Structure 1
Amino acid sequence: MDKKYFYTCVFIVGSQRFVLNLIHDVIRPLVLTSRISFH
């Protein structure tokens, strides 16, 4: 039971980090390209 809970926490934290990295990798180029196009 404790192991299951531990692995669930690890999975949630890992997926959150993966999603944050994905959002960062997607948004940063968009922001850079929008800045270039505006200027």
Structure 2
Amino acid sequence: ACLEEIAFANGWLTKKELLIRSSLMSKNSYGQYLLQLIK
């Protein structure tokens, strides 16, 4: 399970918060996956 994905889907994370978290991990596949959730 992807905790950030669940939190975003439930409105517990905003797009901005998800973008910040994904940017911190943008060099790996998990960070890239989080970036795809925003689009």
Give the structure with higher Rg (CA).
Answer: 1
Greater relative contact order: 1 or 2 (C-alpha under 8 angstroms, separation 6 or more)?
A: 2
Does the pair score TM above 0.5? no
